[in-house]
Chain A
Amino acid sequence: MKKLLAGVAMALMALTGGAQAQDYPDRPIMMMVSYGAGGATDFQARIVTMTAGNEDALGMPIAIINKPGAGGRVGWNWFATQAESDGYTLAAYNIPHFIAQSIKGGVEYSADSFEPIANWGADPAVFVVAADSEMNSMEDVLAFAKENPGKLTFSGAGLFVGHHIAALQLEKAAGVKLAYIPTKGGGAAAMKAVIAGEVMAGVNNLSDAFRAQEAGNVKILGVFDLERNEFLPDVPTMKEQGMDIDNASVNFRGIMVPKGTPQEVIDKLAATVPEMFANARVAKKMKAGGSPMHIMTREEVQAMWAARQETLAELLEGL
């Protein structure tokens, strides 16, 4: 009897599966964020998907599910191996995090496991020190580091995430040895370590550092990007301060689906999602929260992923 029921269930599934692509989406969609509730990625994901239920967007709401752990590995591993590729399970991606992790190994995903849909934001890494620190520019930082090799402690959100990439780039470009301290608990914990004086400096998200600077808790000494940021027009880039550092550590955030999702579903999402991000209400809320937006279409994201794959493979070689 139970076998029979299961058989009937399978048959029904096969039937509904065929019809799904045309009416997609006909039920609420789930989006996995591989960081904890309240973190920068989670917060932005909730804002950019808030209009998903509108008729001109997907017409169905997107519910956020958090699967935090190990710098995002837990969530993406789940997404690559266990998520159903029916278009009702989306995930937020963070570049360079998941690409760096897949190059390092020990995870079951790579850039080929996922299909990008669209990008919503780009959050560069910045170098911060506590407000009462004696260091006032990258020059001071490097001078200290050269005198005390391996003694300058600075925090970041984990290993093989954007902050770590920035740290590696800094060490390489300046030719000094630093002590990178990965914290558990994301950018917020890394920021706390800087403000509380547990470490001398830190790498953090521009959006979080901007707020912390506004609150008078930290000083921002440099941006790990190609150009200065609109939120921080007075803070020079690393390149301006004489270090050859590009935008490889900039944290790009967007939406992806698992490989094997029907092409029609991908096309539909790729067409609607960038427009959904461009919604005026979304832009207003993002700006209010100090989160830089950067909308990219599926093709642009594919190119960006491929480019990152190369740069990171080179940077992480021999680590």
Chain B
Amino acid sequence: MSRAQHIVPSGIVFAVGCWIAWVSFTQQPAEAFLFPRLISAAFVALAGWTFVKALLGWSKVGSGVSRTMALNLAPGLIVSLIYVFWLAKALGFYTATTLAFFVLLSLYDPAPHNEAKTWIKRAIITACFIAVMYGVFGLLLKVYTPREILF
């Protein structure tokens, strides 16, 4: 894995650490930020060391992100994020989960897309999953999840 790949995440972590330290040392009341100050000091020191190590190319652990991996991941990640941050609340949990589940399944299921059988199978799996979720969370645990349309 290239040196650049290690520099980016450790750089971000280091930047976050600096931000935390800045906030901790400037915010009031001081008593409430005593502990964050302590942590941020250790944070900045460790993150700085990691960043320097990455710059010098000493970082060895971790497998990094390859191009194929990123391409494989992108559609799933995007669908998941839309599902979690928008659809779940906008459409209600059960509707959104049905939709997201089916889309994700279709995106990553290796079975050929041009056969009706595949699609029926996917629909059945989705229906089963939603039924189980409704049974456990809706009926058994009586969790009142957001329900905007349908159920």
Contacts and interface: CB of A to CB of B under 8 A. Distances in A.
Interface string B83-119: 0000100111000000000000000000000000000
A12 B144 contact: no
Interface in A1-40: 2, 5-6, 8-9, 12-13, 27-28, 30
Contact of B90 (A9, A12, A28, A63): A9
22 contacts: A2-B87, A2-B90, A5-B90, A5-B91, A5-B149, A6-B90, A6-B91, A8-B149, A9-B90, A9-B91, A9-B92, A9-B148, A9-B149, A12-B148, A12-B149, A13-B148, A27-B144, A28-B142, A28-B144, A30-B144, A63-B142, A63-B144
A156 B149 CA distance: 47
A5 B92 CA distance: 11
Interface of A: 2, 5-6, 8-9, 12-13, 27-28, 30, 63
On chain B, which size bracket covers the interface?
under 10
A27 B144 CA distance: 9
A2 B92 CA distance: 13
A6 B148 CA distance: 9
A32 to B, nearest CB: 13
B95 to A, nearest CB: 9
Contacts of B148: 9, 12-13
A84 to B, nearest CB: 10
Interface string B112-151: 0000000000000000000000000000001010001100
Contacts of B87: 2
Nearest to B82: A2
A5 B142 CA distance: 26
Task: Give the most central of A6, A13, A28: most B CB within 10 Å.
Answer: A6
A130 to B, nearest CB: 28
A13 B87 CA distance: 16
Contacts of A30: 144
B117 to A, nearest CB: 27
Contacts of B91: 5-6, 9
Contacts of A12: 148-149
A276 B10 CA distance: 58
Contacts of A8: 149
Interchain residue pairs A-B with the least CB separation, the first 10 = A9-B148, A9-B149, A6-B90, A12-B149, A28-B144, A30-B144, A63-B142, A5-B91, A28-B142, A8-B149
